[in-house]
Every structure is written in structure tokens, then in C-alpha cells.
Structure 1
């Protein structure tokens, strides 16, 4: 999607993709990743997700990246604190208590920003991207994650190709990430009826080779 699309969504408060509760798949499956304490977890297209607070509560460091400075600002504001951004090159950086939020295009960030990343949590990044960008996204994760690092990925499945969020099925997950990652389908949620028809979330465990 064009950057302007997401900036407008945040400016207008049209953020139906935001969840006020911790994601059920994160709570259920994170232990399967066997991530050591103090590991830095990358949360791409993080928005102001409360999942980042949950990860921090597990003793992990969090690196969230989002296009919207409103999202990064509001994450901390929702916790009752204001964190002033620091401008570094072409991006903004906010940090407080083990959580670092970067306002930038993930594809344009230098390698140094990703230094120390040892795991990835993606609930809303892959499914927010159209097909061509999904390929670039997967390639970037391959480039920026070290061997052995795990990833918890949550996708959506439904009929049609309208989005975002977009439907991403298992065959595409494998096409995008194998063989650089091993891909294990963990569990699919119960089908739900929506304005787009029947849809469900699916959780995957990936390991960087």
C-alpha cells in the first residue's frame, strides 16, 4: 500500500485493525519459540499494539517499527507517558523501559537498526501488504534476522483478494519464507462470519535457518 494510505488511516483514527487485548495466539504459542530472556523481538508494522507490553512483561526487549508517528506516539501516551522522539537520519526513535519504537519505512532502515534482533512477532504486518510487497517483506526479514531466530506469524484466510488486511494462505507463507525459514503451521482459529464472508486466523511458527 502507499504510505499515504496508512498515514491517513491513523490521522482519521480509522484503525479497526488495532486490538485492545493481547492476541490469543501470542499468549498461547510464544513459549513454543523458546526465546531467551532479554532477547530483542522485532515487531514490524507494530502500530500501538498492546502485544508489545506483553512481550516486555516476559522480560524481552522490544523493537517496534511503524510508518506512523501517531501510532508510535500514542503507544506510549496510552500508557500515561509522553516520550519525545529523537531524530536519527531519516527516522524517529522513541525509547522507554526496554521498548524502542521506530517511525520509518521498514524497507528503508539501515541494518544497524536491526542489530541484536533474535526473534520476530508478526500479527499484522504480512497481511497488511499487497502481494508484491509481501515478497519484499519476506526478503527483508531473511536479510535482517540471524540464523536460529524464531518467528511467530499470524495470518488471515478468507475468500477474495480485497484488503488490507489481505488473505494469506499456507502455500504463500511457504513460498515466501522457505527454505530460509522452516515453516510449521500451528493452529487455525474458528471460522467467523464477517462482511467479507467466512474468515479465520492462522498461527505459524517459523525458524530462520
Structure 2
């Protein structure tokens, strides 16, 4: 799975991973990050998620990274604003007020370019990556954000029942990726297959959604 896979998904409009609402678990558990207005939250592989608008409405400074330029343009169109656009090492940098997005490869992003962040919100990044990239991503994220606290939403299911993405990321896998760096607190877990008929049609008999709070050790 390479950059072309995701670019093709966006070009064809095959974005079933995009939610047409703010994620309920973000609304419920954002306070667990204890962020003050103006603090900076990082959203990796953000797509055109409505969650970013919600974070902005809470008074936060929001910075995302997303491979698809089409998705990034849609993000600012949703806000009804015209961003300034500059170049960075791996793509373009879009910015308007306290909202900015790096368009390009997250693995090309470094600490100096990203700047300090106070927290991470990962709803669609870890579960979008195959096993071959997950460990690399987790290490990079920890280094990039200097172990900032993280609100992490994952999905787990019997992987042989369905090809990803989204890939199954169960609590044991989260621990194997982050336990050395973070204390992991499970905030919620629920079988949501009855609300996800498209996944049932693909063969799933159960789909568990977990939300975890990760804080630096």
C-alpha cells in the first residue's frame, strides 16, 4: 500500500472512511486531554474530517497532515475560508488563522517543521495503515510530537473476515506500539457492527470501536 493507493481513493471518491458528522467519541472524550483554549492539537492523516472544525470551535489551534490535496482543499472550503498556501519539503502548507494543514507525506514531517503540539487526535491514521507501516508510524508520531498526549480511536475485528483498510487494531496491538512511551487508559469500547452495515456486508460479524487516552510515562 503506497501513496498512489490513497490518491486513487480520493480521485475516485471512494472515501467510506469519511464521516458526515463529528465523531461522537471526540465530543465525549476531548475533555480528557485537558486542553486550554489556544493550545495546539495535531491530527494525522486528517482527510477532510469534520472533526477538525469541531476542534477549532472549541477554541483550539489545529494542525493536520494529509496526503491528498483534494481533501485539504475540501477542508478549507468547508470552513468557508481562503487559506494562504506555501511550499514545504514534501508538498504544500495551507494556513488560515489558527488552522493549518501540511499536504504531503507524514513521514517527511519533522519536529522543526511541525512545531510544538500539545496533543494528538488520531481517529483515522493508525487504522488506515497496514502492519508493515504501523510500528514506523507510531515511532515517528512519538518523536514528532515529543510524546504529546493522545486521544486514539481504533477499530478491532477478526482480520481474516475482511481486508483492510480500515485494519483491525486491538488493545493488545495498541499496547505493543505505545506501552513503552505512554500510559494507556481505555475510555470506552463498544461493538458497533449494528450501526455499520457496509462492514457487515463485507463479512464482519463484530466490529469493536475503542477510544483510549495515552499520556506520557
Q: What TM-score does the superposition give when structure 2 sets the normalisation length?
A: 0.91
| Aligned residues of 2:86 and 2:94 also touching (Cα < 8 A) | yes
| Aligned residues of 2:90 and 2:105 also touching (Cα < 8 A) | no
Name the residue aligned to 1:200. Answer: 208
Give, in angstroms, the shift of residue 84 of structure 1.
Answer: 5.0
User: What is the correspondence of 1:57-72 to structure 2 with a 5 Å cutoff?
Assistant: 57-72=57-72
Name the residue aligned to 2:92. Answer: 92
Aligned counterparts of 2:49 and 2:111: Cα–Cα separation in 1 = 24
Give, in angstroms, the shift of residue 35 of structure 1.
Answer: 1.5
Cα deviation 1:119-178 (Å, max 9, x = unaligned) = 00000000000012110111011112235x311000001112520000100000000001
Runs of 4+ in 1 over 6 A off after TM superposition: none
| Aligned residues of 2:46 and 2:64 also touching (Cα < 8 A) | yes
Give yes or no for the alignment of 1:130 onto 2:130: yes
- CA RMSD, 1 decimal: 1.4
| Aligned residues of 1:84 and 1:94 also touching (Cα < 8 A) | yes
Give, in angstroms, the shift of residue 206 of structure 1.
Answer: 0.3
- For the residue of structure 2 that corresponds to 1:16, the secondary structure is coil
Cα deviation 1:13-48 (Å, max 9, x = unaligned) = 111100110001100011011122211111000001
Q: What TM-score does the superposition give when structure 1 sets the normalisation length?
A: 0.94
Name the residue aligned to 1:45. Answer: 45
Name the residue aligned to 2:114. Answer: 114
Aligned counterparts of 2:13 and 2:41: Cα–Cα separation in 1 = 27
- Structure 1 gap ranges (5+): none
